[in-house]
């Protein structure tokens, strides 16, 4: 297989298995109680309504500023606005703690796929640049990377909420190419979403490896014909062997 200078990875569904559920009967009740305990009194239904409304407003604001872009809001702005609506001015530490609590309450399962760390470390040991390119919320994902001992496995980390764009928008792919002075033809994208990861990468001239995982879109095929490699099942140990073969 062709050797590349840099390897770009998706996170959830590619390196990390996660399940979150914000529809659990207890979820909104628990988070509303958390806000109330910090001086922002909400009933569960009112809190959920306000949260969803603020998310929609933030999305509309970004879309207005960036017509046609695949935008990504920063949920910290939403968490802050929920406090402000009740007359509370939260300190940065409280916002971080709120985001952590929100995510923890929603998460039912979080683990690193077998072979993920070995794959990342193997590529870096071989002198490759390893980049994380994730559609995610920084306030959730950076703590999870630390908890999963993955932060130090990457040379650079790009999270969509920090940039205002998300895959498949070419501007999100272009950020690491620009920052690291890379040619797209020297980079390989590895992901589990045919559109966001593979076709998004192809739009900027990057090759792609497709992994069909349990977190791939429900209608995603087992094999993607325009990928340089398709794995119909999660097998990162096999992928490591293929990527590092001469």
**pLDDT (tens digit per residue) in 170-200:** 999 999 999 999 999 999 999 999 999 999 9
pTM: 0.96
Please tell me the predicted confidence (pLDDT) of residue 56. Answer: 98
Please tell me the predicted confidence (pLDDT) of residue 246. Answer: 66
Q: Rounded to an integer, what distance in angstroms lies between the CA atom of residue 12 and that of residue 110?
A: 10
User: What is the mean pLDDT of the segment spanning 18-46?
Assistant: 96
Q: Rounded to an integer, what distance in angstroms lies between the CA atom of residue 192 and that of residue 148?
A: 20
* Tens digits of residue pLDDT in 107-139: 999 999 999 999 999 999 999 999 999 999 999
* Tens digits of residue pLDDT in 71-83: 999 999 999 999 9
How do strand 6-9 and strand 16-20 relate by DSSP bridges?
unpaired
State yes or no: pLDDT of 19 exceeds 80: yes
Q: Where are the alpha helices (DSSP H) in 3-91?
A: 27-37, 44-65, 75-84
DSSP state of 148: T
What is the residue-averaged pLDDT of the chain? 97
**CA–CA–CA angle 177, 245, 224 (5° rounding):** 65
Please tell me the predicted confidence (pLDDT) of residue 210. Answer: 98
Closest CA to 95 of 75, 122, 70: 75
Which residues does 182 contact at the CB level (< 8 Å), separation at least 6? 5, 6, 129, 176
User: What is the mean pLDDT of the segment spanning 39-65?
Assistant: 97
């Amino acid at each position: 297989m062709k050797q590349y200078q840099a390897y770009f990875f998706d996170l959830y569904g590619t390196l990390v298995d996660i399940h979150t559920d914000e529809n659990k009967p207890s979820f909104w009740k628990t988070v509303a109680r958390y806000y109330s305990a910090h001086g922002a009194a909400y009933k569960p239904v009112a809190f959920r309504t306000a949260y969803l409304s603020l998310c929609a407003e933030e999305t509309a604001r970004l879309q207005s500023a960036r017509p046609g872009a695949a935008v990504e809001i920063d949920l910290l702005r939403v968490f802050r606005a929920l406090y402000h609506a009740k007359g509370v001015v939260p300190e940065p530490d409280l916002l971080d703690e709120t985001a952590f609590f929100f995510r923890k309450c929603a998460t039912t399962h979080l683990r690193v796929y077998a072979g993920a760390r070995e794959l990342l470390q193997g590529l870096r040991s071989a002198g490759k640049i390893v980049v994380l390119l994730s559609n995610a919320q920084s306030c959730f994902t950076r703590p999870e990377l630390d908890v999963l001992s993955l932060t130090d496995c990457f040379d650079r980390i790009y999270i969509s909420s920090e940039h205002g764009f998300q895959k498949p928008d070419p501007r999100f792919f272009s950020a690491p190419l620009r920052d690291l002075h890379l040619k797209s033809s020297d980079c390989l994208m590895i992901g589990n979403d045919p559109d966001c990861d593979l076709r998004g990468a192809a739009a900027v001239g990057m090759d792609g490896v497709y992994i069909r995982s349990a977190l791939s879109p429900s209608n995603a095929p087992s094999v993607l014909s325009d990928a340089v490699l398709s794995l119909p099942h999660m097998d990162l140990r096999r992928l490591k062997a293929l990527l590092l073969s001469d």
